[in-house]
Structure 1
Amino acid sequence: MMNSLERRSTFALSSIFALRMLGLFMIIPVFSVAGQSYQYATPALIGLAVGVYGLSQAILQIPFSLIADRFSRKPLVVLGLLLFAIGGAVAAMSDTIYGVIIGRAIAGAGAVSAVVMALLADVTREEQRTKAMAAMGMSIGLSFVVAFSLGPWLTSLVGISGLFWVTTIMGLAAIAMLLLVPKVTRHHKNFQQGYLAQLKQVLKMSDLNRLHVSVFTLHLLLTAMFIYVPSQLIEFAKIPLAKHGLIYLPLLVISLFFAFPSIIVAEKYRKMRSIFLTAIAGIILGLITLIFGYESKYILLIGLGLFFIAFNVMEALLPSWLSKAAPIQSKATAMGVNASSQFLGAFFGGTLGGQLLMLNNTAFGWSILTAIAIIWLLISFGLAQPRYLSSLVLRLPENKQTDEWTSQLLAIRGIEEVVVMSDQQVAYVKVDKQRIDEAARQHLTHLLGKEVAI
């Protein structure tokens, strides 16, 4: 079970993600039409205004995350959210399409998705990590559906500039949520490594690269699907565009009933690799269903449901697996590369989805997406089961300097990281049980003054 600190932090950081994504997603379903009202607007510039956010995110995730592995993560999150809010305000005050493009680029420059995920990894125990990441993944999915439902309605009330002001308000509200997250100080084994060397180390790890390919492909398929499927829901299921949110929301809720048990099994019984590969197979099954049944309303919805179930399992497992596979001292860097891959996947997925719309053969379009998913599955077979760490929750010593105490802990074989929350007077100590021997256990008992079950 999560403790109160973990529940509070997970709620706050998931809310930060959701508020940012809500502001981002609300623009997408309306801007292709509303953007035509701007001076100098052309279809190409309207497309650039939508896409430049993702491009800024993809470029700047890695620099932000490299810095986050060296310095405190919370100030970087505040900086990123301020840029997001300022970008929304610039777009809201613009009369020309070029002003909107500049505003969107500034908003995208607040590329702190990986930093937020790394902060969540800091404040949750290893055993509860997947649940926390699952909650964050679900908040993103829910914000997507809510945004697609709210965007057109809000635009009719406040106009497109008003919608940009809403994104600014959400960015500022997200900063307030950080007050619920404890201040943390990270301690790990000493290492001397430059920024470039640290990035190269992460890029050389084959399992991490497979996870980067996975998030790229997952978001390519998701974005392509949401461009490709609305016209089919209108044509074959006879569901008008305004009611598509009412279709996506129940499918998302239903998928949660399948996703959470899968996540629990993956963590509790250490079946992460099996569940991961099964989820990719589920995405393939959903896409195959759409190849042969898109003309039937109910089979179309079944195919979408299968995709949503598998997508939500993957959305929860990927960050958790990444946090296990990444070197502890380079956790944010690995998450930054992963987040860049995610945004690039969405960028290419949008491009591919537009091309699929130009096809006159719907089944062939779904076949292309299925082929991409099959290639993804074949690449993922090379993944090894991730390393599982355990967490001890310890009170900070009253008669000892914290830095001295953490140094003594890290000198013990099998102790990988100590995350100190001084305001709460506790520390999470991350332990590799496979490396703890009897001498290490006795050393730990002597240091703490009591025997600890590991």
Structure 2
Amino acid sequence: MSHLNSLEKRAAWSLALVFAFRMLGLFMLIPVFAIFGQDLIGFSPLWIGLAIGAYGLTQALLQIPMGWLSDQWGRKPVMLLGLGFFVLGSVVAALADSVYMVTLGRVLQGMGAISGAVMALASDLTREEQRPKVMAVIGMTIGLSFTIAMVAGPAIAAASGLSGIFWCTALMAITGLLLVWKVVPVAVSKAPASETLATKGQIMALFRHPELLRLNFGVLVLHLLLTAIFVVLPTLLLQQNFASAQHWQLYLPVLIGAFILMVPLMILASRKQQEKGYLLLAISLLIVSFVLILINQQLWSITLALLLFFVGFNYLEASMPALLSRIAPAGLKGTAMGTYASAQFLGAFLGGILGGAVASFSGGESLFAVAALIGLLWLAYASRMTVPARSQRLSLPVKVADETAAAQLAQRLTQLQGVLEVTVVVAEQRLYLKVGQQQFDLAEAQSLVESSQKS
């Protein structure tokens, strides 16, 4: 079958909405807090950064443990728990009169680290051949949520203040709770854990993988830079006599333009198979945007810089997970994605601290010089990346008695033409293959597996 069935469609749109409501709530504060938080007790540039990035710390710490819990307790109970924390954090922040309580609310919001559970449930509810479509639908909601948040945040804050942002966030989280409770399907099967969730025994091994380390470092820096610059950017716009209620009028065309310009880069990178070159180009766009703001803070210059920044940001946000999926060892995609997501959220937290600290001690303009320097270091580190040839991932059931039998089977399979990597997971009785897209003969591999089980 080439199309999603009714269960898969229901899973795709309901889980995408749950993801979107949560991400909207996290992102809407970014473009407004530096302005609308000024009436809070204890307001300072450092606490701006801490409040904006605080959710990233608890997200980074709990992303993988919450995924593990979803294996023990079930996907939906963990999602309900996480969304409950999100509602609580939103209410605490909405009622806050100090920057400290807002930061506490953001920490509680971050405890709703349900990304792993959502992705795992999506895998549980879909057939293997249809799984990429459902994952793509959910993945697209991240970029769409960010765009909507950058426009909706300033508009809501202008109409109802900072508390309005958090009450809106609480309402969306409650809607997400109802969706999970009443609409999201109950899984009747469970996808292989190694491909959807982080596994405890392999995390340290992946940290030693040089190419995955580059990607984890890259996403950490990408979100560090995003969070850091928005500690001071809204204030720069105010200094250009651009009222906060109108900021969405800048963000909307910039984000639409950036998306339009990003698409050709994605097409060219894929068609020419020059992913590394275009990745380096995107990082360079980030650096140029920081330099442009550093030398000229007029409105046209800030607008152009933001356009360049988001072209690079959107390209990197879309392309790095695809590279990660290609590079991750066979059978360990879930673990690789778990560590990648943790690095992403940790970057948001560190970006808040960096932005607040630099703005407090050296002024807002110097932050862009620091950002450009960090970007140059990332460019140098990424330039040494090796991108492997495109491959296909396959998963087959096997019957192996123990680790010795698994190792023998894996050794035989590595001799087949087109086989790049083999992982046999005894606990799951499943075989994972990473193979070349043209040279590999699936029938030959299946025959070898069957013969090994008879012997």
Correspondence for 2:171: 166
* Structure-to-structure mapping, 1:54-453, within 5 angstroms: 54-66=56-68, 73=75, 75-89=77-91, 103-117=105-119, 132=137, 135-153=140-158, 155-156=160-161, 162-163=167-168, 165-172=170-177, 175=180, 179=184, 185-187=190-192, 195=200, 197-236=201-240, 238-267=241-270, 269-295=272-298, 297-358=299-360, 364-386=366-388, 388-390=390-392, 406-407=397-398, 413=413, 414=419, 432-434=434-436, 440-442=442-444, 444=446
User: Quick one: structure 1 residues 159 and 273, their matched pair in 2 at CA, closer, same or farther if it must change by over 3 Å?
Assistant: closer
Equivalent residues, number: 419
Deviating more after overlay: 305-314 vs 79-88: 79-88
User: Quick one: structure 1 residues 67 and 247, their matched pair in 2 at CA, closer, same or farther if it must change by over 3 Å?
Assistant: same
What letter corresponds to residue 377 of structure 1 in structure 2?
Answer: L
User: Alpha-carbon deviation of 1:225?
Assistant: 1.6
What letter corresponds to residue 407 of structure 1 in structure 2?
Answer: V
User: Quick one: structure 1 residues 312 and 71, their matched pair in 2 at CA, closer, same or farther if it must change by over 3 Å?
Assistant: farther
| Alpha-carbon distance in 1 for matches of 2:386, 2:135 | 18
Deviating more after overlay: 260-269 vs 122-131: 122-131
2:231 match: secondary structure: helix
| Alpha-carbon distance in 1 for matches of 2:180, 2:170 | 16
Q: TM-score, normalised by structure 2?
A: 0.74
User: Alpha-carbon deviation of 1:202?
Assistant: 1.9
What letter corresponds to residue 281 of structure 1 in structure 2?
Answer: S
Q: TM-score, normalised by structure 1?
A: 0.74
What letter corresponds to residue 87 of structure 2 in structure 1?
Answer: A
1:186 match: secondary structure: coil
User: Alpha-carbon deviation of 1:219?
Assistant: 0.8
User: Quick one: structure 1 residues 280 and 253, their matched pair in 2 at CA, closer, same or farther if it must change by over 3 Å?
Assistant: same
Cα offsets for 1:230-250 (capped at 9, x unmatched): 2222223x3211111111111
Report if the CA contact (8 A) 2:27-2:149 is conserved. yes
| Alpha-carbon distance in 1 for matches of 2:34, 2:295 | 31
Deviating more after overlay: 278-287 vs 145-154: 145-154
User: Alpha-carbon deviation of 1:389?
Assistant: 3.4
What letter corresponds to residue 284 of structure 2 in structure 1?
Answer: A
User: Quick one: structure 1 residues 269 and 228, their matched pair in 2 at CA, closer, same or farther if it must change by over 3 Å?
Assistant: same
User: Alpha-carbon deviation of 1:254?
Assistant: 1.0
Deviating more after overlay: 225-234 vs 122-131: 122-131
Structure 2: 5+ residue runs without aligned partners? 401-405, 414-418, 425-430, 451-455
Structure 1: 5+ residue runs without aligned partners? 394-404, 419-428, 449-454
User: Quick one: structure 1 residues 435 and 19, their matched pair in 2 at CA, closer, same or farther if it must change by over 3 Å?
Assistant: closer
Report if the CA contact (8 A) 2:155-2:245 is conserved. no
| Alpha-carbon distance in 2 for matches of 1:109, 1:68 | 14
| Alpha-carbon distance in 1 for matches of 2:205, 2:296 | 46
